[in-house]
Chains A and B, each alone.
Chain A
Amino acid sequence: MSNIAIKLENISKQYRLGVVGTGTLSHDLNRWWAKVRGKEDPTLKIGQENTLAKEGGDYVWALKNINLEIKQGEVLGIMGKNGAGKSTLLKLLSRVTGPTTGQIKIKGRIASLLEVGTGFHPELTGRENIFLNGAILGMRKGEIRKKLDEIVDFAGVAKYLDTPVKRYSSGMYVRLAFAVAAHLEPDILVVDEVLAVGDAEFQKKAIGKMQDVSKGGGRTVLFVSHNMASIQQLCSRAVVLQSGSVFFNGNVKSAVEKYLLQNINYFNSKGRYDFTNQKIGDDKFLLQEITVSDSKNKIRTLFLQEEEIVIKIKFKLFSFIAGMRINLWIKTVSGIIAFGTSSHELTKDRLDKGIYKIKAIIPPGLLNTGRYILGINIGIPGVKFLVKNFDFGFVDIESGAVHGSAYSEKWEGIVAPKIDWLYEEVS
C-alpha cells in the first residue's frame, strides 16, 4: 500500500470542441444559471467518446474514469492511438492542466518532459539555458551548479557551452535538453516520446539513463511512446489507452500486441474487409474492399509458409490521379516492418475514373511462422496521403519447412525466406 508512487482515481478530462472563444460567455451564463438553480452542469454530460470521427456534440471526454496505480520504481509504458488520451494523461500528471473529475495522488517530486528544451531561449548560451531550464524543471541553482559538469558531459557539448543555443545543431540542442532533465533526479519522471529525436547512439544513451534512473535510484518512470522497441526495452508494465479509457493494463509483451491489434478495425472479418460504409479516402479516391485469399481465390487468414497469399484491393477513382500508388506493409505484431511493397510502377499514371481491383501476390516461402499485421498507405509520393498508415488486417502463418529445417522449434527471424541450398561433391 505504501509503495505506490502515483494513484489516479476516477480521472476524467473534458474538452470543448470547436472554436474556443466564441460563445463562451453564453456557455458561462448557462452554467452559472444551472448552478443557481442547483442543477447539474449542462455541459458536463457523460457520453461522447473521443473519436476523431466527427459527430455531434460540443464537448468530448479525452479521458474517462481512469483508475491506475503506479508503484515506486516501476517503469510504466503508455500506449495508444493518436487521440486515445495519452498526452492528456501526461498533461494532467505534469500539472499543465487540471482534471475535470477525480483526483491524482502523487508521492515525491515529479518532473515531466513533455517536450525537450522547454523554455530554452535561443539567444542564451548553453550554460545559461542549463540553469534556466533546470530552474523551470524545479531545480535550485546550487543543485544545477553541482550537476553542471555531469550534464555537459552527458550531452557532449562542452565545446559549445558558451555559444548561444540558436547556433546549435538540432541534435546538440536535444541532447542538452534531455541531459538537463535526466539529471534532475525527480522521484517520478514523466517522458513523452523525446527519444524519437537524436541519433541512434544518443537514443541508446538516453534509454540507458532512464533505466539507471529507475533501477539504480528506485525512481518511477512514465513513458509514452509509439516506439514499440523502446517500450519493450524500457518498461516493466504497460497500459494501452483507447478512446480515453484503459483498454489493457499488464505485461509489456501482451500490451504491445493489444496495441497493434486494436488498430485493426475488422478483427473478426476473416480475410474480407469491407469499407463501403466507411468512406476511407477523399473526394477523388475511395477504398472499397480488401480481401486476403489463397491462389484459388478462397478467402482466409491462415496460411502455410509454402502457400502464396493474394491481397486484392478494390477502390473507386472519381478522376485521374497522377502518380498514385498503394503501398503494402507487412509487420510483425511487435510493430517491426518485415517488408513493404508498392504498386507505384503499375498505378502511377495509368488509372482513369472507374472502379479497380489490383492485387499483390506475396510469394510462398517468405514469411516466418506467427502473426503478421497487414497495413497499407495510399497516396502520391511526396505530395499527399489518400489513406495514411492504415492497418486493416492480419494473417497467421503456420509452419512448413521452407527455411530448410523441418525440426520443430521456434525459428528466429522476421522473415524466413526460401533460400536455395545446393551441394556439390568435391571429391
Chain B
Amino acid sequence: MTEKQLNNIVPENWSMIIKPKRHWFDINLKELWAYRDLIALFVRRDFVAKYKQTILGPLWFIIQPLLTTLMFTVVFGNIAKLSTDGLPKILFYFSGIVGWNYFAESLKATSNTFVTNASIFGKVYFPRLTMPISIVISNLVLFFIQFVFLLVFIGYYYFLGVNISISFYILLLPFLILMTAGLGLGFGIIISSLTTKYRDLTYLVTFGVQLWMYATPIIYPLSSISGIYKKFILLNPMTPIIETFRFIMLGSGELNLGQLLYSFIFMIATLILGILLFNKIEQSFMDTV
C-alpha cells in the first residue's frame, strides 16, 4: 500500500486547513462566537480611548445631535417652514436625527474597516467581522444615550401639555434598532469590502450618506410627500424605520407593517450579501489594501 492510500484510510485530524480560495459560503460563525470577548473589549476600547483627555467627555455624544437639531429647527423649520406633522420642531428633528445617526454613524465607521485597521489586520489574525460588529455595538451605546435625552425632551413637552402619545407599539423598538443596526452593518461591510480595491468609494460614502439623509423623512414628514417622490422615498429601507420610530415615540407619522417587512427583508439581504463579500475579501485584502 502506498503512503497516499494510507493517508486516505487514516484521515489526519487537522484542526485547520488554509486554502487559497475560500468558498463563498465558508463562513465561520463559530469562530466569531469564540471571539465574543474581543468584541466586548473593542467596544470598551472605543469608549475609553475616544474621551480620555477631553473635558466634556461623553457629553460630546449629545452635543452633536443637539446642535444639528437646533440648526434644522432654524433652517428647515423657521426659515423654510417645512411641516413637522404638528409636532414641536425640536422633538420632530431630534427624534429623526437620533434614529438616523445610529444608521449613518454605523455605516460610515464600518465602511472603513479594512483601510483603517490595515496595520493590525496585517499583523495578527482574528475574525475580521469582530471589528465592524464592535463598531455597531459602540454606536448602539451612543444611540441609547441620545435616546435617553429624547425621552427627557418628550417628558418636557408632555408636561407643557403637547399632545404626545407613546403607543404600545413601543414593543417594536428593539426590532427597529436591530434593523437599523443590520442595515448600517450590512451597507458598511459591503462598502468596506469594495474599498480595499476601489478606494474611490471612501470619498463617496460621506457624501452619499448625506444625500441619503435627504431621501429619508428626517427633515420632513412622509405625509407631506406625494406622487412619484413618495414612491421613491418608500424604496429607501430607512424610511419605514424612521416613520415607525416617530410613530411609536411621538404618535405622528404612519405605521405600515408591510413597509416595515420590506425594510426587514432588505436588511437581511444586505447583511447576507455583506457578510459573504466581507468573508471573501478578508482573506486576501492585505495584498490589495
- CB-nearest residue of chain A to B10: A1
Whether B18 pairs with A119 at a CB distance below 8 angstroms is no
A419 lies within 8 A of chain B by Cβ: no
The distance from the CB of B252 to the nearest CB of chain A, in whole angstroms, is 43
A98-B20 contact, Cβ under 8 Å, with A114-B123, A136-B124: yes
Whether B49 pairs with A123 at a CB distance below 8 angstroms is yes
A95-B286 contact, Cβ under 8 Å, with A21-B199, A123-B49, A132-B41: no
A105-B17 contact, Cβ under 8 Å, with A21-B197, A118-B124, A135-B35: yes
Whether A106 pairs with B125 at a CB distance below 8 angstroms is no
Whether A98 pairs with B121 at a CB distance below 8 angstroms is no
Whether A98 pairs with B21 at a CB distance below 8 angstroms is yes
A57 lies within 8 A of chain B by Cβ: no
Q: Which residues in window 1-46 of B have CB below 8 A to A?
A: 6-7, 10, 12-22, 34-35, 37-38, 40-42, 44-45
Whether B13 pairs with A107 at a CB distance below 8 angstroms is yes
One of B34, B52, B123 near A118 (C-beta < 8 A): B123
Cβ contacts under 8 Å, B198 to chain A = 24-25
A96-B45 contact, Cβ under 8 Å, with A105-B12, A108-B15: no
Cα distance, A240 to B134, chains bound together (Å): 41
Cα distance, A7 to B35, chains bound together (Å): 26
Whether A119 pairs with B120 at a CB distance below 8 angstroms is yes
The distance from the CB of B287 to the nearest CB of chain A, in whole angstroms, is 6
Whether B14 pairs with A105 at a CB distance below 8 angstroms is yes
Cα distance, A21 to B198, chains bound together (Å): 7
Cα distance, A105 to B42, chains bound together (Å): 30
The distance from the CB of A99 to the nearest CB of chain B, in whole angstroms, is 5
A138 lies within 8 A of chain B by Cβ: yes
B210 lies within 8 A of chain A by Cβ: no
B48 lies within 8 A of chain A by Cβ: yes
Cβ contacts under 8 Å, B38 to chain A = 132, 135-136
Whether B120 pairs with A118 at a CB distance below 8 angstroms is yes
Which of B42, B45, B124 has the most CB atoms of chain A within a 10 A radius of its CB? Answer: B124
- CB-nearest residue of chain A to B121: A96
Whether B14 pairs with A114 at a CB distance below 8 angstroms is no
Whether A121 pairs with B49 at a CB distance below 8 angstroms is yes
Cα distance, A105 to B6, chains bound together (Å): 17
The distance from the CB of B102 to the nearest CB of chain A, in whole angstroms, is 24
Which of A121, A124, A136, A164 has the most CB atoms of chain B within a 10 A radius of its CB? Answer: A136
The distance from the CB of A397 to the nearest CB of chain B, in whole angstroms, is 44
One of B41, B45, B125 near A95 (C-beta < 8 A): B125
Cα distance, A118 to B45, chains bound together (Å): 14
Cα distance, A145 to B35, chains bound together (Å): 16
The distance from the CB of A3 to the nearest CB of chain B, in whole angstroms, is 10
- CB-nearest residue of chain B to A92: B18
The distance from the CB of A266 to the nearest CB of chain B, in whole angstroms, is 35
B126 lies within 8 A of chain A by Cβ: yes
Whether A114 pairs with B41 at a CB distance below 8 angstroms is no
Whether A102 pairs with B20 at a CB distance below 8 angstroms is yes
- CB-nearest residue of chain A to B283: A98
Cβ contacts under 8 Å, B42 to chain A = 132
Cα distance, A96 to B117, chains bound together (Å): 12
One of B14, B22, B37, B199 near A141 (C-beta < 8 A): B37
- CB-nearest residue of chain B to A116: B123
Q: Which residues in window 59-107 of A have CB below 8 A to B?
A: 91-92, 94-107
Whether B49 pairs with A96 at a CB distance below 8 angstroms is no
Q: Which residues in window 23-63 of A have CB below 8 A to B?
A: 24-25, 28
A137 lies within 8 A of chain B by Cβ: yes
Cα distance, A48 to B50, chains bound together (Å): 47
Whether A132 pairs with B283 at a CB distance below 8 angstroms is no
Cα distance, A21 to B18, chains bound together (Å): 26
B226 lies within 8 A of chain A by Cβ: no
Whether A96 pairs with B124 at a CB distance below 8 angstroms is yes
Whether B123 pairs with A121 at a CB distance below 8 angstroms is no
B64 lies within 8 A of chain A by Cβ: no
A99-B126 contact, Cβ under 8 Å, with A105-B12, A121-B49, A124-B48: no
Cα distance, A15 to B289, chains bound together (Å): 12
- CB-nearest residue of chain A to B286: A97
Cβ contacts under 8 Å, A25 to chain B = 198
Cα distance, A316 to B284, chains bound together (Å): 46
The distance from the CB of B231 to the nearest CB of chain A, in whole angstroms, is 34
B86 lies within 8 A of chain A by Cβ: no
Whether B122 pairs with A110 at a CB distance below 8 angstroms is no
The distance from the CB of A7 to the nearest CB of chain B, in whole angstroms, is 8
Whether B17 pairs with A104 at a CB distance below 8 angstroms is yes
Q: Which residues in window 107-139 of A have CB below 8 A to B?
A: 107-110, 112, 114-115, 118-119, 121, 123-124, 128, 131-132, 135-139
The distance from the CB of A16 to the nearest CB of chain B, in whole angstroms, is 7
Whether B37 pairs with A140 at a CB distance below 8 angstroms is yes
A16-B287 contact, Cβ under 8 Å, with A2-B12, A106-B18: yes
One of A96, A105, A123, A164 near B16 (C-beta < 8 A): A105
Cβ contacts under 8 Å, A94 to chain B = 124-125
- CB-nearest residue of chain A to B6: A1
A426 lies within 8 A of chain B by Cβ: no
Whether A99 pairs with B18 at a CB distance below 8 angstroms is yes
Cβ contacts under 8 Å, A406 to chain B = none
A200 lies within 8 A of chain B by Cβ: no
- CB-nearest residue of chain B to A28: B197
A20 lies within 8 A of chain B by Cβ: yes
**Which residues does B use to contact A, with CB under 8 Å?**
6-7, 10, 12-22, 34-35, 37-38, 40-42, 44-45, 48-49, 52-53, 120-126, 197-199, 283-284, 286-288
Q: Which 9 A-B pairs have the closest CB atoms?
A: A95-B125, A135-B38, A104-B18, A98-B283, A97-B286, A105-B14, A118-B123, A123-B49, A141-B37
Interface CB pairs A-B, < 8 A, 30: A1-B7, A16-B287, A20-B288, A24-B288, A28-B197, A91-B286, A95-B18, A95-B125, A96-B124, A98-B18, A98-B19, A98-B21, A98-B22, A101-B20, A105-B17, A106-B15, A106-B16, A107-B15, A108-B15, A112-B124, A112-B125, A114-B124, A118-B124, A123-B49, A123-B52, A123-B53, A124-B48, A135-B38, A136-B124, A141-B40
A-B contacts besides A103-B18, A124-B49, 20 pairs, CB < 8 Å: A1-B6, A21-B199, A24-B198, A24-B288, A91-B122, A96-B121, A97-B286, A98-B18, A99-B18, A101-B20, A103-B17, A103-B20, A107-B12, A107-B13, A107-B14, A114-B124, A131-B41, A132-B45, A135-B41, A141-B41
**Which residues does A use to contact B, with CB under 8 Å?**
1-2, 4, 7, 15-16, 20-21, 24-25, 28, 91-92, 94-110, 112, 114-115, 118-119, 121, 123-124, 128, 131-132, 135-141, 164
